[in-house]
Amino acid sequence: MSAVLAGPDVTRQPPDADTSALLDRLAAELGLIVTCKKNGRTALIRVDGAGVAPWREHYPYDQRMARKAYEAAKRSLQIELLKLQRSVKASGDRLLILFEGRDAAGKGGTIRRFTENLNPRGARIVALEKPAEHEQGENYLRRYLPHLPGAGEIVLFDRSWYNRAGVEKVMGFCQPEEYAQFLRDVPEFERELVNDGITIVKLWFSVTRAEQLRRFIDRQIDPVKRWKLSPVDLASLDKWDEYTRAKEAMFSCTDLPEAPWTVIKSNDKKRARVEAMRYVLSVVDYCDKQHDIVGQPDPLIAGPVLALPELATGEHEMVIPPVLGLAHPRQSTTSVLHGRRSISSPLASASAPAG
């Protein structure tokens, strides 16, 4: 018998006890209890035993998008994505889409729906590992340059350079001066990319705390999803407020007219996927666009950061780093783009937020 067949059956291995204890504690902080149902799945309930639907927390709809409506909308929009890809290839344009957000916010599933029918020869997914030691510091942004779209190509980043503004900042994986330098460099870096002919679309997937916890619990009990529970992911669950402040600081420094952020409320994954597709299709021009199919994204689900805030006005606690007067100022990393041939793009002018 092969080693693989003789090995332990991962489908029967119980969830890690320490992880279970952590998730139980986080649920208790929200006034909830993790319980096991008769079918073996878990659920969150209130301490009085009443059931809860975490996805409805602060969500503008009281029913999830129906499967039939979702499949119909997804197919129509995927056909439009194919038209977009053909247009990009024919014109030699370059389209870059960044997918950012909290862990378990639905980025990966949305990327799969974006690309499942695209021609892989003209559409790439980039998901880089953590930077090597030599890629830290002044080389941090340069490590992404080889992965940018070439002429006629669409590239989707499953997390991007904004890791530094999120997980690296919150988890202490970069120095404060490196974080400050990053927020100082990114606006000019992205302006250089746009001036070089790249259209940048930046999507932030927003999930509420209880729904994120529910998804982590599902990952814990599902053996084919358990690999997604990395130690960093679990440690991040205890730092919700820190991530919120880091996200608000990131928005404040990097929500640019040339490359604005768009928030996608993703408690309902189906709606999030459909509206993310619709948003991208609505802000770029391409041949044979069916405007009646694309329409405009649902403003309750997809919109600018100021239109879909995570916090109420009085709850904002901005953490803007001191980006001026650094002890060791460095030349901007964007200088690496200097001297490259600028390519004018009709797509670039369409990257402003809808509405």
At 87, the pLDDT band (50, 70, 90 cuts) reads: very high
Residue 10 counted as domain residue: no
Closest CA to 250 of 301, 207, 190: 190
Question: 156 vs 330, which has greater pLDDT?
Answer: 156
| Structural domain boundaries, residue 178 | 68-208+240-350
> Phi then psi for 244, rounded to 5 degrees?
-65, -45
Residue 123 counted as domain residue: yes
Q: State residue 339's pLDDT score.
A: 40
Place of tokens 């980039």: 126
Closest CA to 220 of 59, 26, 30, 5: 26
The end-to-end CA distance of the chain, in Å, is 62
pLDDT digits (tens, 9 = 90+) for 192-250: 999 999 999 999 999 999 999 999 998 887 777 776 777 777 778 889 999 999 999 99
Q: State residue 12's pLDDT score.
A: 45
Residue 349 pLDDT exceeds 50: no
Q: State residue 38's pLDDT score.
A: 74
At 102, the pLDDT band (50, 70, 90 cuts) reads: very high
pLDDT digits (tens, 9 = 90+) for 26-40: 999 999 999 887 777
Residue 311 counted as domain residue: yes
| DSSP H helices in 116-230 | 167-170, 176-195, 209-221
Residue 319 counted as domain residue: yes
* Low-confidence winner among 14-23, 59-68, 289-298, 340-349 (lowest mean pLDDT): 340-349
Residue 334 counted as domain residue: yes
At 311, the pLDDT band (50, 70, 90 cuts) reads: low
CATH number of residue 145's parent domain = 3.40.50.300
At 179, the pLDDT band (50, 70, 90 cuts) reads: very high
pLDDT digits (tens, 9 = 90+) for 247-266: 999 999 999 999 999 999 99
Residue 258 counted as domain residue: yes
Residue 221 counted as domain residue: no
Residue 304 pLDDT exceeds 90: yes
Residue 336 pLDDT exceeds 90: no
At 351, the pLDDT band (50, 70, 90 cuts) reads: very low
Q: State residue 62's pLDDT score.
A: 95
Q: State residue 139's pLDDT score.
A: 79
Number of domains in the chain: 1
Mean pLDDT of 1-8: 40
At 121, the pLDDT band (50, 70, 90 cuts) reads: very high
Q: In whole angstroms, what separates CA 184 from the centre of its chain? A: 21
Q: Compute the Cα dihedral for 101, 103, 104, 109 and give only its sign.
A: positive
Residue 44 counted as domain residue: no
Characterize 313-343 residue by residue with b for buried, 16 or more Cβ atoms within 10 angstroms of its Cβ, and e for exposed.
eeeeeeeebeeeeeeeeeebbbeebeeeeee
174-188, 316-330, 341-355: range with highest mean pLDDT: 174-188
